[in-house]
Amino acid sequence: MPIEIKIPAVGESITEVQINEWLKSEGDVVKQDEALAVIDSEKATLDLPAPNAGKLTKILHQAGETVDVGTVVAHMEADGEASKSKSEAPAKPEAKAADKPKAKTEKPEPSESKAEVKLAKEAGSEKSKEEKPEPAEVEKENSSDDSEKESAPAEKKSEPKPVSKTETKPPAAKSSSGREEEIVPMTMLRRTVARHLVEAKQTMAMLTTFNEVDMSAVQTLRKEDQEAFEKRYQVKLGLMSFFVKAVIDALKQFPQLNAEVRGNDIVYRNYFDIGVAIATERGLVVPVLRSAERLSFAELEKAIGDFAKRARDGKLKPDDLEGGTFTVTNGGSFGSLLSTPIINPPQTGILGMHTIQERPVAIQGQVVIRPMMYVALTYDHRIVDGREAVLFLRRVKEVIETPSRMLIEV
């Protein structure tokens, strides 16, 4: 009995997925839980694992197709079934020398004259030269066994294995000006992100406020304690954990930015699920740090590092991306100096971090060079006033510039 490979449930309210690419071809031997294909849902990119060890026998839906959850997309044979069918196959008798096809030779009729025979031989010689197969074709025909000769024409032996559509470069199209263009369909994840961003623009009164942060204290602390921290927790002390801590501190003082508009109501949350935006080759994902207020610096760094690795490998689960009360995004890791991030609905705020640059600043009447970072807060003006937004961002600045505030909460 063939084993059915079905699209599993990938999250609440998700009813369909798109097959991104097949990682295995028909006839490939696979291990249990080995990824057979990559599938895209509205929220994440996931692997489709093999339920058993065995052989993939039939692909029913190709890359690029959108299918419902629960759809059978392929068949496979378990290890035992594959070996059983192979052992039970009747042995084919070896072909006898007499059974092998003989080369046809043209013999002249006895009544033909010697001149006619000579002309016929010369014509036949020229014809055989023209029809002589290439060496590679001869080798293929010679290498095929008897069972293949009986079951299928020789041409089918050289057919390539089916491959996913995503592995083939789409044909270049001509634009109206005659120049080449390449048309690539958007993945389901990319389409969903695009739709949510447009919805956020259309439904929210978004406004952005800016400030700049002196990163000297954080850089000094990381430099002094990095070795001991890494030795104790087996993870590096990064920047993101400082900003997550600072954001939680500020959210406690300005709960509007941790709230949600639900109809005509404002829902205030008494927990802090902080989303961390991560860019991948397949699109932007925002996994969520659950109850981040309860996590230490080491736990935050480990969780963020795990999210980043699984996002790159396409191993994030839909549950990792559900919910979130506020988001932090770090465009500075790519060199961004300043930007206005877009809110992730139904949240009401997002903090954008940017690249650290040494700039001249005035401190106590003296111009000094300090590592400075611009930060941006985009907020939903429907429930967050400018005053709260500015004070929120100023609080984040104070906490980052004086990290001891994170410990004594003043």
Distance (Å, whole) CA 46 – CA 34:
12
DSSP letter assigned to residue 293: G
Q: Which residue has 């080995």 as its token pair?
A: 34
Asked if residue 107 is part of any domain, the answer here is no
Backbone angles phi, psi at 79, to 5 degrees: -55, -50
Each residue's pLDDT tens digit in the chain (410 positions)? 789 999 988 876 788 888 988 999 999 999 998 999 988 887 777 889 999 999 999 999 998 888 999 999 999 998 765 555 554 545 454 544 444 444 444 444 444 444 444 444 555 555 444 444 444 443 444 444 444 444 444 444 444 444 444 444 555 666 677 788 898 888 787 888 888 889 888 899 999 999 999 999 999 999 999 999 999 999 999 999 999 999 999 999 999 999 999 999 999 999 999 999 998 887 788 999 999 999 999 999 999 999 999 988 878 888 898 889 999 999 998 999 999 999 999 999 999 999 999 999 999 999 999 999 999 999 999 999 999 999 999 999 999 999 987 775 55
This prediction's pTM: 0.68
Q: How many helices (H) and strands (E) does the chain have?
A: 11, 20
Q: Are 369 and 196 in contact (CB under 8 A)?
A: no
Angle of helix 216-233 relative to helix 297-313, nearest 10 degrees, comes to 80
Cα separation, 274 vs 259, in Å, equals 12
Query: Does the residue 362 lie in any domain?
Result: yes
Structure tokens at 242: 């400082």
Please give the Cα distance from 272 to 247 (Å, whole number). Answer: 10
Give the list of residues 6+ apart from residue 315 with CB closer than 8 angstroms, or none: 46, 47, 309
Same domain for 267 and 391, yes or no, is: yes
Please indicate whether residue 75 is annotated as part of the active site. Answer: no
Q: How far apart are CA 228 and CA 218, in angstroms?
A: 16
Domain boundary, last residue among 146, 165, 184 = 165
Residue 292: inside a domain:
yes
Q: Phi-psi bin for 39: left (phi > 0), alpha (psi -120 to 50), beta? A: beta
Q: Which residues are within 8 A (CB) of 82 and not within 5 positions of it... i.e. 6 or more apart?
A: 54, 55
- 8 Å CB contact between 120 and 108: yes
Domains: count for the chain:
2
385 is catalytic: yes
Q: Report phi then psi at 285, rounded to 5.
A: -125, 150
- Closest to 325 (Cα-Cα) out of 370, 380, 405: 380
User: What CATH number did the domain enclosing 211 receive?
Assistant: 3.30.559.10
Please state whether beta strands 206-214 and 366-380 pair in parallel, antiparallel, or not at all (unpaired): antiparallel
Residues 76 and 209 in one domain: no
Q: How far apart are CA 288 and CA 85, in angstroms?
A: 48
| Distance in angstroms (rounded) separating the CA atoms of residues 359 and 372 | 6
Give the helix ranges, DSSP H, for 145-290: 146-151, 188-203, 216-233, 240-253
Pick the catalytic residue from 61, 75, 196, 381.
381
User: Quick check: is 32 in a domain?
Assistant: yes
Q: Is 391 domain-assigned?
A: yes
- Taking every pair of Cα atoms in the chain, the longest distance, rounded to a whole number of angstroms, is 122
CA proximity to 76, closest of 7, 1, 164, 163:
1
**Residue of 33, 145, 313, 385 with catalytic role:** 385
pLDDT given at position 84: 54
CATH number for the domain harbouring residue 34: 2.40.50.100
Helix axes 386-401, 216-233, angle to 10 degrees: 60
Residue 161 DSSP SS3: coil
Distance, in Å, from the CA atom of 239 to the CA atom of 229, rounded to the nearest integer, reads 14
pLDDT attached to residue 57? 93
- State how far the Cα of 378 lies from the Cα of 193, in Å rounded to an integer: 18
In a domain? residue 116? no
Half-sphere exposure of 235 (CA within 13 A, CB side): 17
Amino acid identity of residue 338, one-letter, is L
**Confidence at residue 192, expressed as pLDDT on a 0 to 100 scale:** 80
Instruction: State whether 223 and 351 are in the same domain.
Output: yes
Asked if 170 contacts 158 with a C-beta cutoff of 8 angstroms, the reply is: no
Task: Pick the last residue of a domain from 120, 144, 165.
Answer: 165
136 domain-assigned = no
Domain contains 174: no
Residue 84 and residue 209 in one domain: no
Tokens 């002589």 locate to: 132
Domain range for 262 is: 201-408
The residue assigned the tokens 């990938």 is: 10
